[in-house]
Amino acid sequence: MIENITPILRCDDFEASKRYYVNVLGFKLDFDVPWMAQVSRDRCAIMLADGHQGARGMWVWIGVENADALHAEFAAKGALIRDPPQNFEWSYEFQVEDPSGHVLRFGSEPKPGVAYGQFKP
């Protein structure tokens, strides 16, 4: 049985990334050591690595209860919205980019009766 999956994202600017996840995306800082930190929000955790472990520009899909509400929250705090909320066969989602170019895809259930959007790769 798999109990948890926690992505590890390489950070170009470790301090800027921690501030972005906490102050803009509303995650809390779980721990912070000189080369690694973990941020979490609700039941989702992401580890941030200071210039190592992984590559720039990874993608992470995060299931959420209400994509519209979260998008509004992030936009009000100045998040870099890469792609606004759109309906797709698999979810109703939007994309946020972090300071290291990682793309976080936040999605909730597809909206019935709403046309499908154009996915931005």
What whole-number distance in Å separates Cα of residue 99 and Cα of residue 102? 7
Per-residue pLDDT at 113: 95
Note the pLDDT of residue 68: 98
The overall average pLDDT reported for the chain is: 96
81-84 CB contacts, 8 Å cutoff, 24+ apart = 82/120, 83/120
Q: Which domains, ranges and CATH numbers included, belong to the chain?
A: 8-108 (3.10.180.10)
DSSP string, the chain: -------EEEESSHHHHHHIIIIIT--EEEEEETTEEEEEETTEEEEEEES-SS-TT-EEEEE-S-HHHHHHHHHHTT-EEEEEEEE-SS-EEEEEE-TTS-EEEEEEPPPTTPPB-----
Q: How confident is the model at residue 82 (pLDDT cuts 50, 70, 90)?
A: very high
Which pLDDT score, from 0 to 100, does residue 107 have? 98
Which of 73, 72, 84, 76 lies closest to 117 in space, CA to CA? 84
| pLDDT higher than threshold 90 for residue 84 | yes
pLDDT in tens, 21-70: 999 999 999 999 999 999 999 989 999 999 999 898 999 999 999 999 99
